[in-house]
A and B are shown apart, each in its own frame.
Chain A
Amino acid sequence: MTSLLGFMRFLFGALAICALAVLVTPIHAEPQVPPVNPQASAISEQSLLQQAPRIEGRIDIPNETASVLMQPDGRVWRYFHEVLLHWTGAILILGTIALLAIAYFVVGRLRISAGRSGIKVLRFSSFERFSHWLTATCFVLLGLTGLNITFGKLLLLPLIGPEAFSTFSEGAKYVHNFVSFPFVLGLVLIITIWMKDNVLRKVDVVWLKEGGGFIPSKHPTAGRFNAGEKLVFWLALGAGAAVSVSGYLLLFPFYVTDIFGMQIAQGVHAVIAVLFIALIIGHIYIGTLGMEGAFEAMGTGSVDLNWAKEHHGLWLEEEIAKGRAKLPAPATPAE
């Protein structure tokens, strides 16, 4: 029985294979066409992202920035903006304030050693003071509105609520945008009027070596500006140029650069601005709380003769030589 069944199975199998062969074999033998693989050259997201950080293509709508299909680096920018910037900004600004507070309590206010003479010497003309205060006012407005964009949602939003904060921030954005123009004007004025007085000289090295006037016993002499002021000048010039260029790239989005350029511009703008703010906090400290007789130079324009002698001796000599300042007549002894 088993052998018969096996034979039958073999027979049917053979017949089936023959039938299949007849069905499959084309009547006219044609050259073999390889099967089409629609995936053979297909581009994949993964391989594209390995080649470049962004996937770009052609787009039908008239919006070139929309031709970037994907830029996963948006999340990297988010990490910069929400983590790195928040921490570095807070540490730099609060750190500067803390250092200055320490300086104030340890070194204290730098006094005029010889006391006030009562004689005034003109230090800054009204145009110089205008240029300074134009830039300074703009800087404070830009700094506060800029800090609001980064830190406002952490500090101000919980206090005043979303609606009020949004209204304030929108106004702050407009202030930030428009005040940028007078700020740049102020920068240009400052550079033009003070560039020549801020060229570094040999005396600046001595000034730095002797502790820059922070050691009460020593009064290193200086020209119109000392090395510290020159440093502030050049750093402010560099930072001002950097925030202005990056700021206008942000103000006129995508006119000059693509999405990567915009992210870099924002990063540069934010980091330089935070450093700039830290620098100017130091500048404000030494010009007000940190030193007696310093503020009136920019306030009224005139400084006390003894202050000038102690901090800007070389400049005072020049002024005297030019006849713009007079030393007090030597006191005649009473007879």
Chain B
Amino acid sequence: MARMKFLCDAERCIDCNACVTACKNENEVPWGINRRRVVTINDGKPGERSVSMACMHCTDPPCASVCPVSCFYVTVDHVVLHSKDLCIGCGYCFYACPFGAPQYPKVGNFGSRGKMDKCTYCAGGPETDGSPEEFAKYGANRLAAGKLPLCAEMCSTKSLLAGDGEIIAEIYKDRVRKRGYGTGAWGWTTAYHEGIKV
């Protein structure tokens, strides 16, 4: 089985936010929620870099271990998913997540948290693959249909890569070897306990 990962090549990201838009549209993500976002570091200064970030589907995911109702599960492709039927909207996964992935609709009391929503790696949820119930709660299940997450598929500069960790790491290494530079795979050390050595 593949070990699915995301990789954002910051040397290629142009902060166009197409990944954010593609994700919102493909998954019909509710208003106010962004499963993916682009953060620009050192904005306007020399060496500025933009990084597209969503759930990294961590090895040993912290969200899953802090969840008070154990609503997370990890698929065979190591995609970290959760059940909105079980989620109670406590917000703990956000405190534990190194990447700020969990999002909450402001429907709870005091306008705070409803059931958590996050990147599913376009792999839906616990419901039957491709069912309307699954789509309503979690959005598209492209993975079951043999397709990769739309954010990465849409990326115009191919900065955002999705797929088996070893394959996308090889693509990245190849790029770095050819062009001669690279700031590394952002978030990999935190998410997967290993970076990419070129």
Chain A contact residues, CB within 8 Å of chain B: 37-46, 48, 55-61, 63, 65-75, 77-78, 81-82, 148-150, 152-153, 157, 162-163, 165-166, 169-170, 173-174, 177-178, 250-253, 259, 262-263, 266
Q: Scan B9-34; emit 1 where CB is below 8 A from any A CB, else 0.
A: 00100010100100000000000101
Q: Give bound CA distance, A287 to B92, whole Å.
A: 36
Known: A48-B41, A59-B39, A69-B53. A77 touches B65 (CB 8 A): no
**Secondary structure class of chain A's binding surface, majority of residues:** helix
Whether the Cβ atoms of B39 and A69 lie closer than 8 Å is yes
B89 within 8 A of A: yes
B192 within 8 A of A: no
Chain B contact residues, CB within 8 Å of chain A: 11, 15, 17, 20, 32, 34, 37-43, 46-49, 51, 53, 62, 65-71, 85-92, 94-100, 109-110, 112-113, 181-184, 186-187, 189-190
Q: Which of B38, B87, B100, B181 interacts with A60 by CB under 8 Å?
A: B38
Whether the Cβ atoms of A42 and B49 lie closer than 8 Å is yes
Whether the Cβ atoms of B71 and A166 lie closer than 8 Å is yes
- Among B32, B67, B94, B100: residue with most chain A CB under 10 A: B100
Q: Across the interface, which residues of B come within 8 angstroms of A177, CB to CB? A: 109-110
Whether the Cβ atoms of A71 and B65 lie closer than 8 Å is no
Distance (whole angstroms) from the CB of B91 to the closest CB of chain A:
6
Known: A75-B62, A162-B86. A81 touches B41 (CB 8 A): no
- Among A40, A61, A73: residue with most chain B CB under 10 A: A61
Q: Give bound CA distance, A72 to B70, whole Å.
A: 21
Whether the Cβ atoms of A66 and B42 lie closer than 8 Å is no
Known: A58-B39, A60-B17, A153-B69. A70 touches B95 (CB 8 A): no
Whether the Cβ atoms of A166 and B62 lie closer than 8 Å is no
Distance (whole angstroms) from the CB of A206 to the closest CB of chain B:
47
Q: Across the interface, which residues of B come within 8 angstroms of A263, CB to CB? A: 95
Q: Across the interface, which residues of B come within 8 angstroms of A148, CB to CB? A: 68
Whether the Cβ atoms of A266 and B95 lie closer than 8 Å is yes
Distance (whole angstroms) from the CB of B198 to the closest CB of chain A:
12
Distance (whole angstroms) from the CB of B97 to the closest CB of chain A:
5
Distance (whole angstroms) from the CB of B92 to the closest CB of chain A:
7
Q: Across the interface, which residues of B come within 8 angstroms of A150, CB to CB? A: 68
Instruction: List 14 additional A-B contacts (Cβ < 8 Å) besides A42-B181, A67-B39, A170-B89.
Output: A38-B11, A55-B41, A57-B43, A60-B17, A61-B34, A61-B37, A65-B100, A66-B34, A69-B186, A157-B69, A163-B86, A173-B88, A253-B91, A262-B95
- Complex A-B: 22 CB contacts under 8 Å: A39-B181, A43-B49, A58-B41, A59-B37, A59-B39, A59-B40, A60-B17, A61-B34, A66-B34, A67-B39, A70-B100, A72-B98, A75-B96, A78-B66, A153-B69, A162-B71, A166-B87, A177-B110, A251-B110, A259-B94, A259-B100, A262-B94
Q: Give bound CA distance, A75 to B66, whole Å.
A: 10
Closest chain B residue, CB of each to CB of A176:
B90
- Among A56, A253, A266: residue with most chain B CB under 10 A: A253
Known: A253-B91, A259-B95. A72 touches B190 (CB 8 A): yes
Q: Across the interface, which residues of B come within 8 angstroms of A56, CB to CB? A: 39, 41
Distance (whole angstroms) from the CB of B37 to the closest CB of chain A:
5
Whether the Cβ atoms of A82 and B49 lie closer than 8 Å is no
Known: A45-B186, A173-B88, A253-B91. A82 touches B41 (CB 8 A): no
Distance (whole angstroms) from the CB of A155 to the closest CB of chain B:
12
Q: Across the interface, which residues of B come within 8 angstroms of A259, CB to CB? A: 94-95, 100
Known: A75-B98, A163-B85. A45 touches B184 (CB 8 A): yes
Known: A75-B62, A163-B86. A45 touches B187 (CB 8 A): yes
